[in-house]
Structure 1
């Protein structure tokens, strides 16, 4: 039995001493704090993360509805989320990365929206990317028109799955994942919460930016992975996670093969864009072939590929398309 009005907030953490105090104070300062069930999983941190948590434990115990602290050996964020899911008892479910922040009304606004729209399984919000130079950029433009079909938007790579930017009705997640076990990957945990809840349900959108997603200079992908090999492999890793979730939640659904093609097309496009960034024509051709195999490629995809591997042919294709639009 889920506890009415309670929000279960899941925070996995590994070596987060630089951010953990800020994050926990952020939770305590939520307008909705007295109805928050905070489930914090220390995934084998070797720094001062636990010491800082213990310094704040009295406040967390007194000011939140419930504070649950779990410590485990380092097994990755997927495993940490599985440990947290076993403890979830709230009507609503959300998560947050240890280095990100929510506005003080983030949780209260999402709860209010879901209460006002009982037929919706989840709600998303806008947010900010915050860069090392303090530049802020919205996730979505102010005139962004959100679709209620969050499931297809995720499969087609049209929305962000940032922790802190969504809230779901716990029962909608548990209807699809009664085991409370997601694929124990070291990434992709947010989509594994969102996809089951979004499947065959509608999702809402709040245009106000209610969280900040921090981009850290020391962990920016381009600096860590100049060859692109790690990012290339990640796309296949994420593709595998998507496929696993679809297999889990779309049993006996004839559309599952269509969904799988959408996923392959989405990640093939990502690989094609990465190949263009890396200036690798062979990789670009390979990615486009994978996209073409799904039969979901568009004329724009074809032009995009040829503008890189054979610019003259790309220009000709663009001219033909424009003539055809007249």
Structure 2
């Protein structure tokens, strides 16, 4: 039995001494604080994370509807989420990365939206990227038009899936994941919550920003080759998550095959863009071959690839396309 009006907020943490106090105070500043079930999982931190948590435990117990603290030996964020999901009792479910922040009305606004729209399984919000130089940038422009078919948009890579922007109806997730377990991956856990809730359901969108996603500068200090390799591995890691989750929730072979092709196409396009950024023609060719195998490539994809690996041919294809478009306008 889920507790009505309660929001279960999951926060996994590993060696987060730099952020954990700020994060907990951010939760205490929520105007919905008395209805928050906060589940904080310490995944075997070796710094002062636990000491800081214990220093704040009394006020967390006092202010929150419930504070649940879990310590486990380091097993990774996926295992941490699985431990937390066993403790969830709220009508609504969300999560937050330890280094990000929510606006004081973030949780209450999402709850109100879901209550006003009972036919929707989840809602997402706009937010800010916060860069090391303190510059803020909206996730989505103010005139962004959101589609309720959130499942297709996630598969096509059209939307962000940051923790802290989503809230789902717990029952909708449990319908697809009654074991309360997700596919554990070092590449993240947000998709394993979102895709099952979104499958066959509608998702809403709140236009104003309700969270800040911190962009840390340390990754940019790596050597270019090392940084590029990490980003390339990330594309395959996230693709693996998509594939595992889809196989778990979709039992129709024809649909499953279509979704798998969409996923490969999405990440092949990302690898093409990464190849162009890294000036790696071989990677671009391999990624385009992956895209071709799905049979979902477009003329624009072809031109994009050739403009990089063979600019003369790319220009020729672009001219041919423009001539064809002019012919169509004439008739």
Range class of TM-score, shorter chain = over 0.9
Indicate which of 221, 224, 229 corresponds to 1:223: 221
Matched, 1:69 2:54: no
Give the alignment of 1:103-252 within 5 angstroms. 103-218=103-218, 220=219, 222-224=220-222, 226-227=224-225, 228-252=228-252
Deviation, 1:322, is 1.5
**Distance of 1:44 and 1:174 partners within structure 2:** 27
Give the alignment of 1:38-53 within 5 angstroms. 38-53=38-53
1:5–1:92 contact (8 Å) kept in structure 2? yes
SS of the residue corresponding to residue 26 of structure 1 reads: helix
**Distance of 1:310 and 1:253 partners within structure 2:** 38
Deviation, 1:282, is 0.9
Gaps of 5+ in 1: none
Match of 2:275 in 1: 275
Match of 2:258 in 1: 258
1:127–1:212 contact (8 Å) kept in structure 2? yes
2:187–2:234 contact (8 Å) kept in structure 1? no
Match of 1:309 in 2: 309
**Distance of 2:259 and 2:280 partners within structure 1:** 29
Q: In the TM superposition, what whole-angstrom CA distance separates every residue of 1:155-213 from its partner, at most 9, and x where no partner exists? A: 10000000000000000000000011101111231111000000000000000100000
**Distance of 1:200 and 1:35 partners within structure 2:** 29
Matched, 1:96 2:96: yes
Matched pairs, number: 324
Match of 2:329 in 1: none
Deviation, 1:253, is 5.0
**Distance of 1:254 and 1:88 partners within structure 2:** 34
SS of the residue corresponding to residue 163 of structure 2 reads: coil
2:151–2:199 contact (8 Å) kept in structure 1? yes
1:122–1:203 contact (8 Å) kept in structure 2? yes
**Distance of 2:78 and 2:221 partners within structure 1:** 25
SS of the residue corresponding to residue 207 of structure 1 reads: strand
SS of the residue corresponding to residue 180 of structure 1 reads: coil
Q: In the TM superposition, what whole-angstrom CA distance separates every residue of 1:131-155 from its partner, at most 9, and x where no partner exists? A: 0000001000111110111111111
**Distance of 1:229 and 1:217 partners within structure 2:** 17
Deviation, 1:225, is 5.7
Deviation, 1:224, is 3.2
Q: Which range is displaced more, 54-63 or 225-234? A: 225-234
1:225–1:231 contact (8 Å) kept in structure 2? no
1:126–1:206 contact (8 Å) kept in structure 2? yes
Q: CA RMSD in A?
A: 0.9
**Distance of 1:123 and 1:225 partners within structure 2:** 39
Calculate the TM-score normalised by the size of structure 1: 0.98
Deviation, 1:252, is 3.2
User: Which ranges of 4 or more aligned residues in structure 1 deviate by more than 4 Å?
Assistant: none
Q: Which range is displaced more, 74-83 or 314-323? A: 314-323
